[in-house]
Structure 1
Amino acid sequence: MEKMGYKVGGGLGKNEQGIAAPIEVKLRPKNMGMGFNDYKEAKLPALDEVPEEKPGAVLAARPKEKLWSKQKQAKKPREYMTAEELLVKKQEQGLDVVQKVLDMRGPQVRVLTNLENLNAEEKAREENLPMPELQYNIRLIVDLSEVDIQKIDGELRRERESVVSLQREKEKLQKEEARQKRQLGIMETILGVLDTLGEESTSGTLTLDSLMNTFNSMKERHPEEYKLCNVACIACSIAYPLLIRVFQGWEPLQNPLHGLKLMSSLKDLLDGDRPYDYSDTMLTSAPYTQLVGEVILPAVRIAGTNTWHARDPEPMLRFLESWEELLPPPVLHSILDHVVMPKLTVAVESWDPCRETVPIHVWVHPWLPLLGQKLEVLYSTITAKLGNVLGAWHANVFDAGSWNRLICERIIPKLMEALNGFEVNPANQKLDQFEWVMRWACVIPIDYMAPLLEAEFFTKWLQALYIWLCSNPNFSEVTEWFLGWKGLFPQELLANERIRQQLNRGLDMMNQAVEGMEVVQPGARENVSYLRVTEKRQFEAQRQASANASYQHMSAVLGNGVHVDPTGTAPQTSLKEHIEAFAVENGLMFVPKVGRMYNGLPVYAFGNVSMAIDALNQVLFAQRPDGWRPVSLHQLLEIHHSSSRR
């Protein structure tokens, strides 16, 4: 043993954890069992004790412990726990997943359920507990019992949950059974009503009123079954022969209001508030759509093909307007594509611009809201016919004065009307009306176009820019907005002095806002000056001479044969109206210059001449190279012609 590492006086084992002295032999009395009558059995010597030496041997360095000095250790009371208490304890601790651990450190493999008592046997031996192997086995049995109890409890819980789930499923099936029984009873009732209606229809006693009353009451009492059984289709098939008799011989273009209330009631009955499915076709659409397509559409096609003329759109438009809410989209598209468009195509092809007295837009444009882009196929034919007519047009038809008069009397008012309704909105800008006006820039002389834009567009444009600059804007966005507007003007307009002046005014306002200066509202100074001068002139008007002298003075200034009543009463037209008529007569533009004032008087553009009207004194002022001078109308016309020649 010494060759194998054993030391004399030490314990057995690798770590000297075994006994250090041989087992003592003690003779027990005859016929006495272990532990009888508190008999003290021989004990294994402690590891720290030195074995007794035989006679003649050397005593150990450490003396034996005095057994009589040891106090009795109090035994811990045993704790017992029932299965219910164990489950409650585990439930409070939380149920953990039970895993098996194999302990292969000894000669035999041990199965553990946790690692708490992994070294329990060694601890028991170290603490000198009696029978540690037995205690360990008992503890293992207890742990396995706990695991079995938890397992059985889990299975019991799952079974209870299954019972609750099955109970709920049973209640659900019972409710479904009751619902289906109720639906079956309602369907039997509906079938009985339908059989009754079928008998009345066969006998000829069924009317539309009784039919609609029956189906309306059915729909109100059983709305779900009404949709589920598709009763609307059955109502449609029963109502079809009755509607044929109602609309027999009907002229839809002459009497478009016939049957409106009846069809409105049928629409509520068959479709209700259900939105129309635009993916459906005429054949697979809703019952109401099929009914209208089989009853109303044939009558409209016959009337439109035989009696309607495209040059008189009112009858067809009146019918479509009356039936707008009752015609399903497939029916409306069928009427427009197969009745209206063919008629319009034939009428446009037969249209003769030289002989027709009714303009073509009178009977084509009313269809724009309904046909929209479909009318574009007609535009090529109209353009070709107009091109042929203009090809025979001679240049001597219009002289310069007539052409200018045409522009001033017909085109300029329309452009002013378009710009009057135009709105400058940087947040949501719509340019349709502005683009309409810009298309005429190459046709209308700049002398007319510039004052028009100055009066009708730039006032709104500058006001919108002023409001934007006063709201702490992003100046990069303002710059892009300014450049975008500037890019919309043709080069010939950008080269005009008046247009450049208005754009520069906007640019100056932007520079003032960037530099932190106060931005002056457009036209504010001119308005204040005008009010000041107007008050002054009203004060001077009280000191003027009689009305006769003022009218005689006006007649002398005008020098164009204006008649003045010798009684001193005022003429029927004002001085401004005389000047406007004189400008139209000579084919000149007469518009105000917004924002420009002379001595508090508004400045107007008379052709190429800037002029002001003193209505109080009946005097005209024109701007000459040497300043403002009073002039007559003939002198004003001569100044315009001289500036045009330059």
Structure 2
Amino acid sequence: MAAVVEPPGSLALTIPAVANMMRRWNYREGWGLGARGQGIVAPIKATERCPKAGIGHGEEPYDNGLAAPPPPRKPSPEDQKWHEWQKLSRALLLEQECCDKIISALRDMRHGGGDSAETANALAVMVRSKKVFFQRKRKPGTWKAALPPSVTRYVVDHVITPAMAVDAGEWEPSWDPGCRHWLRPLIPIIGHLPRSLYGVVESKIANRGYGVVSPWKEYLDPTLWDVFSRRHVVPKLARLVRELRVTPPKQVDSSFRTVMLWAPLARAEDVVSMLEAELFFDKWKGVLRHWLLAARPPLAEATAWCNGWKNLFAPELLADESVLKHLEEGLAMVDRAAAL
């Protein structure tokens, strides 16, 4: 027997208590609600939602050209331990590679006629230092700390720096952007590029891309890196910001993403000062104001646009109070426009 389907507006569709109340109010089945039956007949259908979802959950995001990549998955404790172990392992292996490279260079000096007492002593010390690598629970830096300071100075000044001067002059960044073959293996003993070679390196990387420039934040002494970033990185970002076109409701010019990619290479205060000097925030708020007045976008769309820009900023810049103030002023403009 087929199931009976009640028509819309039937009191059989509700509970007895509600049905009795509706009859007392002179409701007639099949009629709409209201004094003259002009209201809806069929009940409003409920939409199932995620119990923990907020307003706007499940809505399609606005195609405003500001979508940020999804945040990285928070690593589990096991993943964190694995990454820490990998980092430690790489550091320890780099020390062994450094030691082997120095021993090879000292032996070449002896065979090439540079068999001085200092060279022989340095070679003997380096060979003995390899015993450190067999220690259990060795930490990075243990090998260098075990070397006599006089031997370290001799190796750096008379073995590494002269050879590195030749390597730096012959280095082609596009072939070896990470300096894997001449600089990185020796970082455990020299710490940073010798200051005397800064000029050579600067001339080779000043106009290069991010992949070539970014490793040098680690390779250069911090004071020299600050000099480089202020001379080359910040002006590059200033040119991009100066030429940037802000175009709501959809951002087409993606150069601000490039600015934020490079931003962590410079001091946050230098980048903020550059943004202020180039009147970026004035331009951004001016365009936003014109859009709000001319197009009168929905509140949700304008808010998503402002938040999209905020999500583009590097965390180091969002930690600056003046940057947050400018971005919050944009959201306040949206709220005021919606209240008109």
Higher-Rg member (1/2): 1
More helix by share: 2
Classify the TM-score, shorter chain.
Answer: 0.3 to 0.5
TM-score (norm 2): 0.38
More strand by share: 1
TM-score (norm 1): 0.21
